[in-house]
């Protein structure tokens, strides 16, 4: 009895059919019922039961889609802008749009969508883009050319439920004449780079030399300037000290001059006082002499004067001298003092010798 039950259980389990959706894949369930067909629900990775007794009847099955990024390499034979032949190797990265797997399966293909859509559009877009560029731009503008092809392919497959994530230019095979020209150009560029590097090195050396000379000249100029400033400062200090000394000397001289002036002023004042005193004394003496002379003059009579005059003439003539007296009016006035000038016109004296009479003086 137990043996029969085990056989029945083994038979029952052996008739169930399963299908697995692997990692990186998605699936759509296809039901053989004409009214159902492909279901829209996208099945994630996992193991799914399709039905029982599938060996003797039609059961559902899963349409498997690889939704990971897939890579396809293409050999592109095209021409450059100049009409030169180009043999290129490019790779394209693509994948289905997960949310549009039902449309991809029903409108394009459930498993051959690269050959149906991506491949033809990729090759056509590549040829179109390379025809717009010169062969000299392929290496320099590689990334730009790859972006142009990628954008053109995305434009072409828009609405086909696929996406292109990247285009890569892997290899470029030029025609022999292009290779020779490229080789020559590369050699020329390398030589130009070498010469430019040599020129730059020489320029750097000259610049360093000029910088060193400029620094040395700057240092010399700074030293000379510092020396001149020190000399100027020393001269200024010396001049200031000299001026200060001269000023002190001038002050001393002024003080001495002021003291001398004060002394001279005092001396002058003393001299003036002395002269004034002396002048006053002389004036007093002169007044005294004048008064004395006036008194003496008042005491002298004309006769006394005349007698004194004769005595003086007698003494002037000496012994045995004869003096002839003439007109009294012809006598010199100095013989008569001022007090007797008023008597100059007096008549001749009646006594004594006559005028004009010789007078003899005995021994």
Q: What is the pLDDT of residues 39-92, one digit of tens each?
A: 888 899 899 888 787 777 788 888 899 999 999 999 988 888 888 888 889 999
Query: Helix H segments across the chain?
Result: 2-14, 101-103, 113, 119-130, 137-140, 142-156, 176-299, 302-317
Q: Is residue 59 part of a domain?
A: yes
Q: 161 and 74 in one domain?
A: yes
Q: Is residue 29 part of a domain?
A: yes
Q: What is the pLDDT of residues 275-324, one digit of tens each?
A: 888 888 888 888 888 787 777 776 666 777 777 777 777 776 666 666 65
Range of the domain at 83: 69-174
The domain boundary, picked from 65, 94, 109, lies at: 65
Q: In the block, which residue shows the tokens 């002058």? A: 268
User: What pLDDT does residue 299 have?
Assistant: 66
Q: Is residue 158 part of a domain?
A: yes
Q: What is the pLDDT of residues 341-362, one digit of tens each?
A: 554 444 544 444 444 444 444 4
Q: Is residue 94 part of a domain?
A: yes
Handedness of CA 28, 32, 33, 34 (dihedral sign): positive
* Number of Cβ atoms within 10 Å of the Cβ of 27: 23
Say how many domains are in the chain. 3
Mean pLDDT of the chain: 80
Q: 123 and 28 in one domain?
A: no
- pLDDT at residue 272 above 60? yes
The domain boundary, picked from 145, 174, 203, lies at: 174
Q: Is residue 245 part of a domain?
A: no
Q: Which SS3 state, helix, strand or coil, does residue 353 take?
A: coil
Q: Could you please report the per-residue DSSP string of 136-188?
A: THHHHTHHHHHHHHHHHHHHHTTTTTEEEEEEEEEEEEE-HHHHHHHHHHHHH
Q: Is residue 136 part of a domain?
A: yes
pLDDT interval class at 336 (50, 70, 90): low
Q: Are strands 70-79 and 85-96 parallel, antiparallel or unpaired?
A: antiparallel
Q: In the block, which residue shows the tokens 């510092």? A: 226
75, 361, 362 from 176: Cα distances, Å = 18, 181, 184
Q: 55 and 143 in one domain?
A: no
Q: Is residue 14 part of a domain?
A: yes
Q: What is the pLDDT of residues 153-190, one digit of tens each?
A: 999 999 999 999 999 988 888 767 666 766 677 778 88
**Residues near 132 by Cβ (< 8 Å), separated by ≥ 6?**
81
């Amino acid at each position: 009895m137990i043996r029969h039950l085990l056989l029945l259980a083994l038979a029952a389990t052996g008739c169930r059919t399963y299908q697995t959706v692997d990692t990186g894949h998605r699936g759509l369930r296809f039901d053989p019922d004409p009214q159902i067909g492909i279901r829209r629900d996208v099945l994630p990775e996992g193991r799914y039961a399709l039905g029982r007794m599938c060996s003797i009847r039609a059961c559902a099955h899963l349409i498997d889609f690889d939704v990971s990024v897939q890579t396809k390499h293409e050999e592109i034979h095209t021409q450059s802008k100049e009409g030169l032949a180009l043999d290129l190797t490019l790779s394209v990265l693509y994948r289905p749009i997960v949310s549009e797997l039902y449309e991809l399966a029903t409108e394009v293909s459930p498993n051959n969508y690269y050959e149906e859509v991506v491949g033809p559009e990729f090759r056509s877009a590549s040829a179109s883009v390379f025809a717009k560029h010169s062969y000299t731009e392929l290496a320099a503008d590689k990334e730009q050319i790859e972006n142009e092809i990628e954008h053109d392919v995305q434009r072409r497959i828009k609405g086909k439920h696929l996406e292109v994530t990247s285009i890569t230019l892997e290899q470029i095979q030029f025609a022999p004449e292009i290779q020779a020209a490229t080789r020559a150009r590369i050699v020329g560029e390398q030589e130009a780079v070498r010469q430019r590097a040599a020129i730059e090195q020489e320029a750097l050396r000259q610049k360093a030399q000029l910088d060193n000379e400029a620094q040395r000249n700057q240092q010399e100029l700074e030293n000379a300037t510092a020396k001149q400033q020190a000399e100027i400062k020393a001269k200024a200090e010396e001049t200031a000290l000299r001026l200060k000394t001269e000023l002190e000397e001038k002050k001393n001289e002024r003080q001495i001059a002021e003291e001398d002036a004060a002394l001279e002023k005092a001396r002058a004042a003393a001299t003036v006082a002395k002269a004034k005193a002396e002048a006053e004394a002389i004036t007093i003496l002169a007044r005294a002499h004048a008064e004395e002379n006036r008194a003496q003059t008042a005491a002298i009579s004309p006769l006394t004067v005349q007698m004194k005059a004769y005595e003086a003439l007698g003494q002037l003539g000496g012994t045995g001298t004869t003096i002839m007296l003439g007109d009294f009016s012809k006598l010199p006035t100095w013989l008569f003092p001022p007090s007797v000038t008023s008597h100059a016109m007096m008549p001749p004296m009646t006594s004594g010798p006559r005028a004009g009479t010789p007078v003899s003086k005995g021994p």
